[in-house]
Structure 1
Amino acid sequence: MSSDRTFSSFAEFYPFYLEEHSDPTCRRLHYLGSALVLVVAAYALLSGKLALLWLLPVIGYGFAWVGHFKFEKNRPATFKYPLYSLMGDWVMLKDMLVGRIRF
């Protein structure tokens, strides 16, 4: 990832985000992590076991970072663009669910 790259909008950032997720296994790990975040969040809220909410960043970032370091062989964009990267995770999940991106 180029350290001098700047983005003025999420629309400008998202194509870069997708470039950083070209490996199918990395995308699958993002998908799995995001899906598990939704399941754990729903369970924690519906069961009243709110202490489980602390697991959300561990699950979400854990799966994603394994994908980046082991398969993609790059640094997660989260380190430089945390908000845009979080948004990118959810947009990419949606794009995978609707078939716009292969996983």
Structure 2
Amino acid sequence: MAGKQGRCATYSEFWPFYLREHAVPATRVWHFIGSTAAPVVLAYALLTQTWWALLLVPVAGYFFAWVAHAFVEHNRPATFTHPWWSLISDYRMFYLFLTGRLREELVRAGVEDHPHARPAE
């Protein structure tokens, strides 16, 4: 079980914690914007050989997510405790959204089906 700071021993423990930290739908929308922007910036940098733009890839990805955590979800991004698992989970969440399977994962993690849902403590 994840502690207050989101410390998890395994990824299977982390995944439901990650979903609960993204309970408000608007938070996920902001994440999806960043999850789309980062590869677009990466592709632009590679295709145009604008190498300095590679520095903008993490900025594009994290800016939107961190705005959501600060102003929508009002929590600390899981990136600070589990950077790689967070990156993997962000794209996993995005993929599940695109394939229509995110709702069932959210329910399994204990996230209520409500626009401003917060998981039960």
Same fold by TM-score greater than 0.5: yes
Matches within 5 A, 1:5-84: 5-84=6-85
Give the deviation of 1:54 after TM superposition: 0.3
Determine whether 1:2 maps to 2:4.
yes
User: Structure 2: where are the runs of 5+ without partners?
Assistant: 104-121
Post-superposition CA distance 1:21-46 (Å, at most 9, x none): 01111100000011011111111111
3-state DSSP class of the match of 1:29? helix
User: Higher helix proportion, which one?
Assistant: 1
Post-superposition CA distance 1:41-94 (Å, at most 9, x none): 111111111210100111111100000010001111111111111111111111
**Quick one: which amino acid aligns to residue 2 of structure 1?**
K
| Aligned equivalents of 1:30, 1:6: Cα separation in 2 | 21
| Aligned equivalents of 2:94, 2:37: Cα separation in 1 | 12
| Aligned equivalents of 2:51, 2:102: Cα separation in 1 | 33
Asked if structure 1 preserves the Cα contact closer than 8 Å seen for 2:41 and 2:60, the reply is: no
Identity value in percent: 47
Provide the aligned length of Structure 1 versus Structure 2.
Answer: 101
Task: State the TM-score, normalizing by the size of structure 1.
Answer: 0.90
| Aligned equivalents of 2:7, 2:29: Cα separation in 1 | 27
Task: State the TM-score, normalizing by the size of structure 2.
Answer: 0.77
| Aligned equivalents of 1:36, 1:24: Cα separation in 2 | 19
